């Protein structure tokens, strides 16, 4: 029989139960026992689902309290010294991830570790910190406890473990001149101990994930794999697991490793299948990740069956069927969606449905005639969609075709625009602002939800939103900020809001996906060609501007970020979707500036995230991504100042493309990295204005005036002070007003102090 498994399942619960349990604990409103019970219930439900679908293995060790890389750090006893305080426990994990474990824990409030994107996804991980004195020992029993629990009611349990080389590679050195790869021998000793414990628990197979094998690795890293897997070899069989791109270029090294099987992602890189099969060692199993774990489209099981049948005949029981990657990147359960139109609902498949897809496909491969018939019937809606007449819109396609003949440039260069903008805006040295969103209180969310349920009329909703906006403007003026925002009370999410106001998208009720910790996002789905039917933000921004004489920023989300943070169509290119979005946003920019909004921020936090994993594919992506942003801003007059925001990104490899965006002001995250990210802008001599984030909004810690001054001064060593802005490193939606006002007051005080120093 064909072996079936998944690489991981969402940890948040069907209705974000983990999110709410975490936040109650962090606020001090519940204890660890209640938190752990919620987690236990989620894990048991996940295992029951896999067992009920008769998967060959249930997967354990895929649960994480905050992030699975951080969980690996605790498993290895590898905690930054500033957070180490005896044997690591759950509060240790939260201190590393967010700076505090609870709001009133009496903790030191040391800075959280750096956070960045997990490859080219919208998931974030906590970056391990490495120094020459580091040691590793098994110190966190969660993995082994979960295996024990899963074994109670299930047949075979397959644990998940982040591989040693990926763990090292995804971290950073905190010691100058130190090479973290030299820590590998010490790290392998800890992995030997982990595998010995797994063997004692009766584990037959372990899924060791080495996703960095899909990258173009430096030779010292790639060459280290052979030694590493010789050293950690045990009686537990190893399924070497890769995903997100092809590993064909690393295959010469991979096929020499002391492992027992290989998992590849053929949803992301179908072209690698033939190459891998041809060179697969005779004794290895091949796990084919054919069910896409990163998108919500129903699988064409009939087509996949035709693709895999020759492979089944060749490999027999050595062929395993699986999801392409962990299903943590997918919403949990399509069955919860009661408001999706029937005409589109049967196009989709969420995590729960993908588990079923794996099993039906395997049964059909094994010759089950009922399963073959089911696969054909199941695939029919997605096949019929290709012929749908309302998915493709001739007018949109005509406008995109015309766009291909332009370059998207502004009407004047930056050196000319900046004079117009200074004359109109009259901002001081080191102008202060925020990134856009302000705290979303329970009252804000309840009002928005009531309007969405049609419990209140638009006039009542508008009155309430105006009151929230007025309150936000007054609070900003009280802190002394120079450039204000309306606070985005009307927005549930920076992408979903636009998806709800553009045609061509489908939104969901419960399509939540974990971003990190308790932070979840609800990506919309691109189902058809995209266009703007009416203005989306103008009324809210112009109302806010009417309340103040200070400049008010209009807030838009950029085309690449909307693309990256939604589930895209699979029948058109990502470039096509980005161009459609850019044209819709260009129309919005025109309406905003015509309504008197002189600063417009077009956020692109995902532009680095969208970068393909292979360097050879970078240029093509960056060319169209940059052009899409430029097109969205192309209608801006010289006196209209265009801002953009990027967060948690390494800019060095794309700095020339960031400059090519030609935004008048770019704001970036730099506080967690202690301004390290500014090195890229200094070495490149970035020509426009920059707002390096001076405090970490993901931590409840309130930055002191001295701390902020220190960071601004460090930034001024790299960037001319006349081109510096002062701002937090991201939006303030997740913080409360008390933290926000205290932090912003300190930010404004620091900027005013330094104006005197630099003037």
| Nearby residues of 252 by Cβ (< 8 Å), 6 or more positions away | none
Ligand-binding site membership of 488 (annotated): yes
The enclosing H or E element of 167 equals helix 164-169
Ligand-binding site membership of 477 (annotated): no
Ligand-binding site membership of 117 (annotated): yes
As a whole number of Å, the CA-based R_g of the chain is 26
Task: Give me the half-sphere count of Cα atoms (radius 13 Å) on the Cβ side of residue 112.
Answer: 30
Three-class DSSP category at 509: coil
Q: Compute the C-alpha angle 53/57/63, nearest 5°.
A: 95
Rounded Cα distance, 332 and 296, in Å: 10
Ligand-binding site membership of 16 (annotated): yes
Residues tagged active-site = 698
> Rounded to the nearest 10 degrees, how much is the dihedral formed by the CA atoms of 256, 262, 268, 269?
40
Rounded Cα distance, 435 and 668, in Å: 9
Alpha-carbon separation of residue 424 from 421, 501, 540, 550, 597 (angstroms): 5, 31, 22, 11, 11
Ligand-binding site membership of 78 (annotated): no
Ligand-binding site membership of 669 (annotated): yes
Rounded Cα distance, 732 and 438, in Å: 5
Ligand-binding site membership of 655 (annotated): no
Assess contact for 212 and 125: CB atoms under 8 A: no
Rounded Cα distance, 58 and 74, in Å: 23
Write out the two tokens for 242. Answer: 């890769």
What single DSSP character describes residue 55?
-
Ligand-binding site membership of 519 (annotated): yes
Q: How far is CA 358 from the centre of its chain?
A: 25
Ligand-binding site membership of 435 (annotated): yes
Q: Which of 131, 159, 151 is nearest to 236 (CA)?
A: 159
Ligand-binding site membership of 221 (annotated): no
Rounded Cα distance, 740 and 736, in Å: 6
Ligand-binding site membership of 375 (annotated): no
Q: Which of 324, 165, 311, 315 is nearest to 242 (CA)?
A: 324
Q: Which of 744, 753, 668, 740 is nearest to 710 (CA)?
A: 753
Ligand-binding site membership of 437 (annotated): yes
Ligand-binding site membership of 298 (annotated): no
Write out the two tokens for 78. Answer: 């590898």
Rounded Cα distance, 321 and 55, in Å: 10
Q: Compute the C-alpha angle 478/484/485, nearest 5°.
A: 120
Ligand-binding site membership of 647 (annotated): yes
Angle between helices 219-231 and 184-200 (to 10 degrees): 40
Indicate the annotated binding residues for L-homocysteine.
Answer: 435-437, 488, 603
Annotated binding site for 5-methyltetrahydropteroyltri-L-glutamate: 16-19, 117, 122, 519-520, 565, 609
Q: Which residue ranges are tagged as binding site?
A: 16-19, 117, 122, 435-437, 488, 519-520, 565, 603, 609, 645, 647, 669, 730
Annotated binding site for L-methionine: 435-437, 488, 603
Give the annotated binding-site residues for Zn(2+).
645, 647, 669, 730
């Amino acid at each position: 029989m064909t072996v079936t498994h998944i690489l991981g399942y969402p940890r948040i619960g069907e209705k974000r139960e983990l999110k709410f349990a975490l936040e109650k604990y962090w606020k001090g409103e519940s204890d660890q026992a209640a938190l752990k019970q919620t987690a236990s219930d989620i894990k048991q439900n996940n295992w029951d689902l896999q067992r009920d679908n008769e998967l060959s293995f249930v997967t354990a060790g895929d649960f994480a309290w905050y992030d699975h890389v951080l969980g690996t750090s605790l498993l290895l006893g590898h905690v930054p010294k500033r957070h180490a305080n005896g044997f690591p426990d759950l509060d240790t994990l939260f201190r590393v991830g967010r700076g505090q474990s609870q709001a009133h824990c009496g903790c030191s409030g040391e800075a959280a570790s750096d956070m960045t994107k997990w490859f080219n996804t919208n998931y974030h991980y906590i970056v391990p910190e490495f120094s020459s004195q580091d040691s590793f020992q098994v110190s966190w029993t969660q993995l082994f406890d979960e295996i024990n629990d899963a074994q109670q009611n299930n047949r075979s349990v397959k644990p998940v473990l982040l591989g040693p080389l990926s763990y090292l590679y995804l971290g950073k050195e905190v010691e100058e001149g130190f090479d973290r790869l030299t820590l590998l021998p010490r790290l392998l000793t800890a992995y030997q101990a982990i595998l010995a414990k797994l063997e004692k628990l009766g584990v037959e197979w372990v899924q060791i994930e080495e996703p960095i094998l899909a990258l173009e690795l430096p030779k010292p890293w790639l060459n280290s794999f052979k030694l590493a897997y010789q050293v950690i070899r045990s009686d537990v069989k190893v399924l070497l697991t890769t995903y997100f791109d092809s590993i064909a270029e690393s295959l010469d090294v991979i096929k020499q490793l002391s492992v027992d099987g290989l998992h590849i992602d053929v949803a992301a890189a179908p072209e690698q299948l033939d190459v891998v099969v041809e060179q697969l060692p005779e004794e290895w199993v091949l796990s084919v990740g054919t069910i896409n774990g990163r998108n919500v489209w129903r699988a064409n099981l009939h087509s996949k069956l035709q693709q895999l049948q020759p492979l089944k005949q060749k490999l027999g029981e050595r062929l395993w069927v699986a999801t392409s990657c962990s299903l943590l990147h997918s919403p949990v359960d399509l069955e919860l969606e009661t408001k999706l139109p029937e005409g589109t609902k049967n196009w989709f498949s969420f995590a729960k449905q993908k588990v079923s897809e794996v099993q039906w496909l395997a049964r059909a491969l094994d010759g089950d005639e009922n399963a073959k018939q089911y696969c054909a019937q199941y695939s029919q809606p997605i096949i019929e969609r290709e012929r749908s007449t309302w998915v493709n819109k001739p007018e949109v396609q005509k406008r995109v075709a015309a766009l291909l003949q332009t370059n998207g440039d502004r009407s004047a260069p930056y050196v000319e625009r900046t004079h117009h903008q200074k004359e109109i805006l009259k901002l001081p040295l080191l102008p202060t602002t925020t990134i856009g969103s302000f705290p979303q209180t329970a009252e804000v969310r309840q009002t928005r939800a009531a309007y969405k349920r049609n419990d209140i009329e638009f006039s009542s909703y508008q009155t309430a939103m105006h009151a929230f906006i007025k309150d936000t403007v007054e609070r900003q003026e009280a802190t002394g900020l120079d450039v204000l925002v309306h606070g985005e009370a009307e927005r549930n999410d920076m992408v979903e809001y636009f998806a709800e106001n553009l045609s061509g998208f489908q939104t969901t009720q419960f399509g939540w996906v974990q971003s990190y910790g308790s932070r979840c996002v609800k990506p919309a789905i691109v189902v058809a060609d995209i266009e703007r039917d009416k203005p989306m933000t103008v009324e809210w921004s112009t109302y806010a501007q009417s309340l103040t004489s200070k400049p008010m920023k209009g807030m838009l989300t950029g085309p690449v970020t909307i693309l990256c943070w939604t589930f895209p169509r699979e029948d058109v290119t990502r470039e096509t979707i980005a161009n459609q979005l850019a044209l819709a946003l260009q129309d919005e920019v025109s309406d905003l500036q015509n309504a008197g909004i002189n600063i417009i921020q077009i956020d692109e936090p995902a532009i680095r995230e969208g970068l393909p994993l292979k360097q050879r594919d970078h240029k093509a992506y960056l060319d169209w991504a940059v052009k899409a942003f430029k097109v969205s801003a192309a209608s801006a007059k010289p006196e209209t100042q265009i801002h953009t925001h990027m967060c948690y990104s390494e800019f060095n490899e794309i700095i020339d493309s960031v400059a090519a965006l030609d935004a008048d002001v770019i704001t970036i995250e730099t506080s967690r990295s202690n301004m390290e990210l500014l090195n890229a802008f200094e070495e490149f001599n970035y020509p426009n204005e920059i707002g390096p984030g001076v405090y970490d909004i993901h931590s409840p810690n309130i930055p002191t005036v001295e701390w902020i001054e220190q960071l601004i001064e460090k930034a001024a060593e790299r960037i001319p002070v006349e081109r510096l802005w002062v701002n937090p490193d991201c939006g303030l939606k997740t913080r409360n007003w008390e933290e926000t006002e205290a932090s912003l007051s300190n930010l404004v005080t620091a900027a005013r102090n330094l104006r005197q120093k630099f003037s």
